[in-house]
Amino acid sequence: MKRVVLVLLGLCWMASVFASSKVRIFGYVIDENNRGIESANIVQEHTTNGTSSNRNGYYELWVEMTDTVVVVYSSVGYTTIRQQLFTHNQTLCVNVVLTSTEEMLDEVTITGFRKQNTMMDYLDAQTARIMPDVSGGGIESLLITFAGVTQSNEMSGQYNVRGGNFDENSIYVNGIEIHRPLLIRAGQQEGLSFVNPKMVENIYFSAGGYGAKYGDRSSSVLDITYKRPKGFEASIDASLLGTNAYVGHGNDKITGMYAFRYKTNQYVLKSLQQVGNYDPRFLDAQTQLTFRFSPKWELRLQGYYSQNKYRFFPDSMSNNFGIMSNVKNLTVFYQGHESDVFETGFGAISLLGKINSEVSLDMDFSGYYSTEQENYDIRGEYILQNVMGTNVSVGRDMYAETVFDRQDILGTGIYQEHARNSLKNKVLTAAINSHWKHADNDLHWGANIQFEQLKDQVSEWEWRDSTGYSVPLNSSMELYYCMKSASSMQSVRTQAFLENTSQWDTKHGTVKLIGGVRMNWWSWNKEVLVSPRVSVIWLPGWKRDFAFRFATGLYHQAPFYKEVRDTFVDANHITRINLNHTLRASRNVHWVVGGDYYFRMLARPFKLTAELYSKYMDRGVSYSVENVQVRYSGKNDIEGYTVGLDLKFYGELVPGVDSWITFSAMRSRERFIKDEYHLGWIPSPQEQRYSFAMLFQDYLPQLPQLRAQVKFIVNDGLPYGAPRSMTTRNKGRMPNYKRFDLGLIHICDKKSYAFMKKSKVVKMWSVGLDVFNLIDFKNVNSYFWVSDAYGNQWASPNYLSGRRWNFKVSVDF
């Protein structure tokens, strides 16, 4: 790895030598009110060498090193300025103020940041493409640095939003909701995210208070639009974690994108505490085609296929845990293996058109299919012992101390876990959506019908011979846990929404009102859901730039197959699955109030955002989380609430690149409606009382092509309790989740290097080095529970990945 670092540094040095004959002129083009001017023209006089400013007014212009150079700054509706610059230095920072002319046209510029005039926040897809990422998701790795969004497993693309679980987040691609596999237990099984960052054009995200058109999930919505290439483009990426190939083409009538990804996180999994042979292989292929057959109508085709194979042959594991005065060691020797296969297919055909200049119409027909197989048979022999000796232990109740005589070995045991599970899932959807825009009024409506079919075969058991677990019964061995069942479900779901957006310009500023209602009916439980939602955005006409928003609404978390799986234990002590036909959707009420303050400091744009929120839930379905698997009770048995504050400081700490810092504080509680164990209000399974995230981007002033990304995350630990124990439910708290990832990348393009202009094939290439978990934090993912000879239960932590290095190369054509 040291050689890799030296090679990367050598390439950067060579690049700086090539760039030494160039001068970099950069800065901001702003107006008299200190607002950035977008699309201003910056041109070297009497040449064709020029550029334009971005949405924040930032620009970069590269010129040949001479004694002086004249740069012309201009924009429609503003006076033109000529600047004579002395180019003795390789970098020049020039900020220019353009004054408006009397002939200035209305709505010529979009100033500063993209103002949030809905409940949806904008994400920059380009930032996600270069971010250091273990899971291979890209978009999700960027998302977890946003306020209110947390993650506790870097090998998974799943995320939690404001106290909700993974299943409460909806993802839309081109307006079609995306489904995910149901059997995945651990992050290392998960594979690649559906969304391919290479194909993305726009990303919008909301952590609450979103409109009626965005479905019924109760935590968040991620809305992604794929791009349409305007010409030929291609890229190839390769790293120690896999490869990614992409080809796109387009003209006025036909566009196409084709992408292939292969991922293996074997290198990362070797840093886990379980020693063994890891063999993960994940691949996917995705395409999008559009055909414009008339000026008003076009056809869009989407296709996706993924195959995730995970094989694991464990060998051994040794782990010390406890406190300094009471250290224990758990050593386990394994036999057996795990073999999982997850295959997913998705296809969609869409007809998009315009009835007239004000009305558009979309019709979508999509299908989702997945086959999931989970097979493992693993036997473990463990030894639990004191380290350096101690006389204090944690007793059967994990909060009571028990004193016993000192000895080295506390207990030995054997356990075996077995599963032969399979699931097939088919979802067919037909949808129609329309949009009518007239003056300052937008009306959206839509309806869909969805056919769902699932077949589930479950056969899993766990046997342990340590004290307090399996005991002989009638010349046989009673299993510690056993579940066997065969279930199937067929259902029809219909949904419809109506949403109107109105906007008024007053002397006090611009007011936008978004109101709508959503309806949902499911044949399984015959329940009709009505969800009204409303939001108000106010952009005051003050000298300082502020934006305020308020939203409230009803969000029904409509159940799917996982939620309706109720369980019972038969006379043979075998857990069976009973699909609950009376399960109702959990009901959530959102209240969100927030605002943004836009300002400039050191001529650079910044934004400070704050949001207060509360969520109340009744008719909830209780669940537990193990790694990334969510197990539901199958009953409407809880109520709960979540309140919190999200803060975000966003801006160009370094000119031309965005960075941000977020902080969130939250309290999320739940209570069982029939509180048989007298638990009262307890932490919800995903309560993380605080979280801090920072994404910082930087570059060398003399060599801006060498860029760095720092991602630092600190999240409160998740609640936990002993397995299958109601008395200890969510009473423990895992240690904080901490993560520090560093990414270095050197970009070589035609704008920065003269020798690249000679290439007619390669548009840009880059080399990069990622350091995952730079400080080597020991993050806890879950606990393995064992018993000693005295009947005490001990929780041995399962740790996540350690420090790893990743070298990557990318070429754009």
| Mean pLDDT of the 398-416 span | 60
pLDDT at 640 over 80: yes
* 461, two tokens: 């058991």
Per DSSP, the three-state class of 526 is coil
> Residue ranges of the alpha helices (H) in 203-271?
266-269
Quote the CA–CA distance of 442 and 428 in Å, as a whole number: 29
Quote the CA–CA distance of 806 and 240 in Å, as a whole number: 6
Q: Please, which pLDDT band fits residue 487 given cuts at 50, 70 and 90?
A: very high
* Interval 32-84: pLDDT, tens: 777 788 888 888 888 888 888 887 888 888 888 777 888 888 888 888 888 88
Q: How far apart are the first and last CA of the chain?
A: 28
Q: Give me the pLDDT at residue 9, please.
A: 52
Contact 226, 171 (CB under 8 A): no
Which range has highest mean pLDDT (200-204, 544-548, 587-591)? 587-591
Contact 671, 172 (CB under 8 A): no
More confident residue, 761 or 429: 429
pLDDT at 401 over 50: no
Considering only CA atoms, which of 94, 85, 123, 114 is closest in space to residue 30? Answer: 94
Quote the CA–CA distance of 75 and 87 in Å, as a whole number: 24
Reduced 3-state DSSP string for 548-594: EEEEEEEEEECCCHHHHEEEEECCCCCEEEEECCCCCCEEEEEEEEE
* Interval 266-296: pLDDT, tens: 888 888 888 999 999 999 999 999 999 998 9
Q: The pTM is what?
A: 0.86
pLDDT at 324 over 60: yes
Q: Dihedral of the CA atoms 392, 394, 396, 401 (nearest 10)?
A: 60
Q: Please, which pLDDT band fits residue 114 given cuts at 50, 70 and 90?
A: low
Residues 6+ apart with CB under 8 A from 356: none
Quote the CA–CA distance of 96 and 99 in Å, as a whole number: 10
Considering only CA atoms, which of 472, 712, 527, 732 is closest in space to residue 624? Answer: 732
| Mean pLDDT of the 726-738 span | 91
Environment class of 212 (CB within 10 Å of its CB; exposed 0-12, middle 13-18, buried 19+): buried
pLDDT at 117 over 50: yes
Beta-bridged to residue 394, according to DSSP, are: 401
Residues 6+ apart with CB under 8 A from 258: 246, 247, 248, 285, 286, 287
Q: Please, which pLDDT band fits residue 633 given cuts at 50, 70 and 90?
A: very high
pLDDT at 22 over 80: no
Token look-up 């699932």 returns: 454
The mean predicted confidence, pLDDT, of the chain is 86
* 21, two tokens: 């004959």
| DSSP, residue by residue, 158-201 | --EETT--GGGEEEEETTEEPP--S---SGGG----S--GGGEE
Quote the CA–CA distance of 646 and 658 in Å, as a whole number: 19
Residues 6+ apart with CB under 8 A from 678: none
pLDDT at 339 over 80: yes
Q: Give me the pLDDT at residue 102, please.
A: 55
Contact 158, 186 (CB under 8 A): no
Pairing of strands 91-93, 22-30: parallel
Residues 6+ apart with CB under 8 A from 691: 150, 662, 663, 664, 666, 713, 714, 715, 716
Which range has highest mean pLDDT (324-338, 478-492, 578-592)? 578-592
* φ, ψ (nearest 5 deg) of residue 363: -130, 125
DSSP 8-state class, residue 44: E
Q: How big is the CA angle at 560 (ends 154 and 724), to the nearest 5 degrees?
A: 65
- Length reported for the chain: 813
The H or E element spanning position 34 is none
* 129, two tokens: 């493409």
Q: Give me the pLDDT at residue 519, please.
A: 96
Q: Give me the pLDDT at residue 388, please.
A: 65
pLDDT at 210 over 80: yes
Quote the CA–CA distance of 448 and 788 in Å, as a whole number: 56
Pairing of strands 169-173, 220-226: parallel
* 304, two tokens: 């996706």
Q: Residue 451's CB: how many other CB atoms inside 10 A?
A: 15
**Residue ranges with strand state E in 716-789:** 719-720, 732-733, 737-749, 764-772, 780-787
DSSP 8-state class, residue 213: G
* 271, two tokens: 């840093």
Considering only CA atoms, which of 422, 413, 411, 545 is closest in space to residue 484? Answer: 422
pLDDT at 403 over 70: no
Q: Give me the pLDDT at residue 107, please.
A: 39
Q: Give me the pLDDT at residue 646, please.
A: 96
| Mean pLDDT of the 512-532 span | 95
Is the C-alpha dihedral spanning 154, 155, 158, 164 positive or negative?
Answer: negative
| Mean pLDDT of the 206-230 span | 92
pLDDT at 11 over 60: no
Quote the CA–CA distance of 501 and 515 in Å, as a whole number: 7
The H or E element spanning position 129 is helix 125-129
| Mean pLDDT of the 588-605 span | 90
* Interval 376-394: pLDDT, tens: 999 999 888 888 644 433 3
Quote the CA–CA distance of 513 and 536 in Å, as a whole number: 5
Q: Please, which pLDDT band fits residue 161 given cuts at 50, 70 and 90?
A: very high
